[in-house]
Amino acid sequence: MRHSKLIRRSAAYALSAVAAAACLWGQEPHITPGSSAASTGPSDGVSAAALSASGQDPAAFQRGAKVFATFCAGCHGIAGKGGPGAPDLIRSVLVLDDEKGILIAPVIRDGRPDKGMPKLPLTEPQIADIVAWLHVRTYAAGHRGTYTYGNVVTGDPQKGAAYFNGAGQCSTCHSPTGDLAGIGKKYDPFSLQSRWLQPRGNPGRGAASSARSSSAAPTVQVTLPTGQSFSGTLDRIDDFTVSLRDSSGQFHSFARDTPNPPKVEVHDPLQAHTDLLRHYSDADIHNITAYLVTLK
């Protein structure tokens, strides 16, 4: 039943999906079997977690990487993400809809001579290995939790220090011998970069979210039209409501979409971090991280 559903869906994309797949194995690559790409395969960037969760055979994935590098990467790139005139296979509708090769294998097996894609001299096991490789790559692309991260320390620590003490004005609030002392050994580089870029973590939409440090949590004062005022730690704010917890822990919520809404004043100790996000260049981010890593 599921297979027939997939085939019907693919039929709706018959022209575009097949055309996109026409280059799948359509030209002899510029990579030869003896090259380094062919010998290693495009498996870099696929974590063990992605490989395991994809349900594919690891050995088939590795074999498929080498076959793909030999016959396909010349057009589609070593990671299958496309090239000049060749589609991105990792996001191909035909590949995403495929199960166990029922859609991909016929395209590989028969070619599309009318579309400039010749039939390639591949065995059925080789075809199955390429299918496995593609499914691992598409799984990894769609599941961020399985990503692996490269080294983020690529900047210049001296330029980072200059930005910290100069244009970024970071030193007006922070000190390498005070609150930031030893931060370079407290966190790994990737976590450190995430923390200074987004000190509140990843708040939900419309939510204030909790700060990593309670002392940096945003506070709010809500003054009603009657003059009565409530203040405390901000719980949530959006166009419709604002809520808080006062010093006793009591929860208060107020409507903002009324003809006579309350006056709302938010104080966020970390607002400067939010404001600076739109001004950082890539170089600034990497240089600052490189500098902070040295604070050990």
147, β-bridge pairs: 46
Angle (CA) 163 165 170, round 5°: 85
> What single-letter amino acid sits at 284?
D
Per-residue pLDDT, 284? 92
Predicted local distance difference test score (pLDDT) of residue 15: 31
Distance of CA 64 to the CA centre of its chain: 25
Closest CA to 81 of 91, 71, 69, 72: 91
pLDDT in tens, 134-172: 999 988 888 877 766 667 788 999 999 999 999 999 999
Partners of 230 in the beta sheet? 222
Contact present, 7 and 100 (Cβ < 8 Å): no
- How far is it, in rounded angstroms, from Cα 284 to Cα 156? 9
Helix (H, G, I), strand (E, B) or coil at 25: coil
Residue 278 has a pLDDT of 83
The DSSP line for 151-218 is: ----S-HHHHHHHHHTTT-GGGT--TTTTTTTHHHHS-HHHHHHHHH-TT--PPTTB----SSGGG--
The reported pLDDT for the residue numbered 92 is: 87
Predicted confidence at residue 287, as pLDDT, reads: 94
How do 251-255 and 263-267 pair as beta strands? Answer: unpaired
10-residue mean pLDDT series, the chain (296 residues): 40 35 37 36 67 91 92 82 78 89 88 74 93 91 73 90 93 92 91 85 44 71 96 93 94 94 92 84 92 94
